[in-house]
Structure 1
Amino acid sequence: MRTEVTDAEVRAPLLEFVTSLVGVALGPDEDYFEQGLVSSLVALELVTFVEHRFGLTVDVEDLDLDHFRTVNRLTAFVLAKLAG
């Protein structure tokens, strides 16, 4: 059974989900918080999606805005969490 997940396998669904949340196409390095596209409620939806989609738990100490600012940063966060 394959357990390793690639960057692309994480980035693609994250980019699709974030785009559906904010309603505009974004690049993987665009800061949707800085652009004012993400409210606290949308941020909570993003955390919930990450937990359910990738089967991980986002702990209180993980709730650093820098982890969630862009799709690429979020991808790196998910990959790090999955790696343990």
Structure 2
Amino acid sequence: MNEIQAKIKTFLSKFFPNHDLQPDEDIFALGFVNSMFAMQLVLFVEQEFQIAIENEDLEFENFRTIKSVANLIERKTPVVIHK
């Protein structure tokens, strides 16, 4: 699990204290997500990782698992090239 996934898991664990959520586990299928929680997750991602989640990013597939959220963040994060 990389640092991004670890941060996401820490955030999600606050909502699912009795479940050890795995990187590939579908949080929608587990029944953990409602519309209010989904908005909290989007806000967390935007604030924690300093990225903007656009309307086209708001698909279930981007938020279904820890890995899918991490992949979205990695796609949205600008690559810094050190010279």
1:9 counterpart residue number: 3
Flag the structure with larger Rg: 2
Equivalences for residues 43-58 of structure 1 within 5 A: 43-58=38-53
Q: Distance in 1 between matches of 2:57 and 2:5?
A: 19
The superposition leaves residues 15-44 of structure 1 with CA deviations (integer Å, 9 ceiling, x where unpaired) of 111121233221011001111111110010
The structure in which a higher percent of residues are helix is: 1
Name segments (4+ residues, structure 1) moved above 6 Å: none
- Taking structure 2 as the reference length, the TM-score comes to 0.86
Match of 1:3 in 2: none
Which residue in 2 is equivalent to 1:20? 14
Taking a change above 3 Å as real, the CA distance of residues 22 and 38 of structure 1, as seen in their structure-2 partners, is farther
Residue matched to 1:82: 77
The answer on 1:65 being equivalent to 2:60 is yes
Amino acid at match of 2:50: G
Quick one: higher RCO (CA 8 Å, sep 6+), 1 or 2? Answer: 1
What percent identity do the matched residue pairs reach? 33
CA contact (8 A) 1:56 1:81 kept: yes
Unpaired runs of 5+ residues, structure 1, are 1-6
Cα-Cα RMSD = 1.4
Q: How many residues of Structure 1 are paired with residues of Structure 2 in the alignment?
A: 78
Distance 2:41 2:2 in 1: 18
